[in-house]
Structure 1
Amino acid sequence: MKTGSCLCGAVTFEVSGEMRPSVACHCTQCRKTSGHYWSATQVPSDRLTLTRSDGLQWYQSSPTARRGFCSVCGSSLFWEMESEAATSIGTGTIDGDTGLHTEKHIFVADKGDYYEIADRLPQKEQT
């Protein structure tokens, strides 16, 4: 069992079971919502339990996906595609050591010009 939260604690959660390795997304939406690229793990939605959701708000960021964030402190927390029964969780929102590693970079064609990806992990132009 892992726990996590937003910066102010108005949204807290628990994750049971294994989490997918983290994926670094460099798409424009992820860069805009996080201020840089966004790194996220993923679990089946039924293994994510909100233990406090006072500040949780959802933003429909495209016709098929939405982003969960804290309306109090602004932390980016979740991403969900409507056609999937899975929730992506911002890796940095998980408390303590995660035991995860970054598996790959996606949407690198959209990455910012102010940084280089130099870790030698696989890079995908899109997904």
Structure 2
Amino acid sequence: MPMPPDIHTGGCQCGAVRFRITGELRDASICHCRMCQKAFGAYYAPLVSTRGALLEWTRGEPKRFRSSNVVRRGFCGDCGTPLTYEAPDGVAVAAGAFDDPSGLAPWVQYGVEGKLPYVDTLPALPQRRTEQDEAAAAFLADVVSCQHPDHDTAVWPPR
């Protein structure tokens, strides 16, 4: 009996754009180039190639910005979540946009000429859980998330 194909789902923070990828994902990476830093508003961009798999938009579709003569970047037009890196050799999806990114560990780093000098020292920084931040306890007690849950929903936002 054949094994069912891998199915991966995800979407933007507000839920306006959702995707499903059917097939094995085995090409996750991090890019440190300045263009990726700006596109993600972060120190680097974690991306997962969809080459060899089927990417479908199940709710909405990203808006796109042409960041160079060969690359378009998809993002949610409502909340701004970075979603895709679209190049002639295929589409990569932002790792953090997956409902479960835990199995998408990167295996290579690109654009290391743009790597910020402190990125490799981040694991050595002191760590604390959100609930351990006593100074923010009152603020956190009042937080109500409007973020889409990490699974598909028939309707969003809820009525």
State TM-score, norm by structure 2.
0.66
Q: Distance in 2 between matches of 1:65 and 1:18?
A: 24
Q: CA deviation at 1:97?
A: 4.8
The structure with more radius of gyration: 2
State the identity %.
34
Match of 2:112 among 108, 114, 124: 108
Structure 2 gap ranges (5+): 1-6, 124-159
RMSD of aligned Cα (Å): 2.0
Partner in structure 2 of residue 38 of structure 1: 45
Structure 1 counterpart of 2:37, one-letter code: R
Structure 1 gap ranges (5+): 120-127
Equivalent pair of 1:60/1:66 in contact (CA under 8 Å) = yes
Count of residues in Structure 1 that have an aligned counterpart in Structure 2: 116
Match of 1:48 among 48, 55, 60: 55
Q: CA deviation at 1:89?
A: 0.4
Match of 2:22 among 13, 16, 30: 16
SS of equivalent to 2:113: helix
What does residue range 1-127 of structure 1 map to in structure 2 within 5 Å? 1-36=7-42, 37-44=44-51, 47-53=54-60, 56-81=62-87, 83-84=88-89, 86-116=90-120
Q: If each structure's strand is expressed as a fraction of its own residues, which one has the higher value?
A: 1
Q: CA deviation at 1:98?
A: 4.4
Q: Distance in 1 between matches of 2:75 and 2:52?
A: 16
SS of equivalent to 1:102: coil
Q: CA deviation at 1:100?
A: 2.1
Partner in structure 1 of residue 129 of structure 2: none
Cα displacement string for residues 64-88 of structure 1 (whole angstroms, at most 9, x for unaligned residues): 110000011100000111x22x210
Equivalent pair of 1:45/1:87 in contact (CA under 8 Å) = no
Q: CA deviation at 1:52?
A: 0.9
Cα displacement string for residues 14-49 of structure 1 (whole angstroms, at most 9, x for unaligned residues): 000101231000000110111220001111386000
SS of equivalent to 1:9: coil
Q: Cα–Cα, structure 1 residues 65 and 97, in superposed 2: closer, same or farther, change >3 Å? A: closer
Q: If each structure's helix is expressed as a fraction of its own residues, which one has the higher value?
A: 2
